[in-house]
Homo-oligomer: A and B are copies of this chain.
Amino acid sequence: MAQIQILNPDSLGKPLGHYSQITRVKASEFLFIAGQVGCDKDGKAPADFDAQCVKTFENIGKALASQGAGFGNVVEFTTYLVHSQDIPKFMTYRQREFPKLFGGGAYPPNTLLIIDRLVREDFLIEVSAVAAL
């Protein structure tokens, strides 16, 4: 069983959102999860950014569950958005939903990046994850 510590040392600034600065993890088994997007199994994506956030993290949850893991196993997220106008919406999504997904406010480190485009033009968010078992 992985020993996962989610850490926010005093020497660094307070995280600018629902993430933490560092994961320290002792583990021999890892999951690398391909970037997940906000679409169903049939490939349909809602037009709405918030709905895509919900589906994206549902998909990550399904990937974790398939290996007997959960959000508490995540050691790192990388989040890609296509429009900078969606940054406040992403913050709002996280503020609303992350306390339900993660126990005790131990949110994993995240790097938030605004890029040109994802594989399909209608995808507005993609999140990749590393987890430890």
Contact = CB atoms under 8 A, between A and B. Distances in A.
A14 B22 CA distance: 32
Given A66-B12, A126-B111, A76 B32 contact: yes
A30 to B, nearest CB: 5
Interface string A114-133: 11111111000010101001
Interface string A1-26: 00000010101111111011111111
Chain copies in the assembled complex: 3
A116 B13 contact: no
Interface in A92-107: none
Contacts of A59: 12-13
Contacts of A13: 39-43, 59
Contacts of A27: 28, 30
Interface of A: 7, 9, 11-17, 19-36, 39-43, 59, 62-63, 65-67, 75-76, 78, 80, 84, 87, 108-121, 126, 128, 130, 133
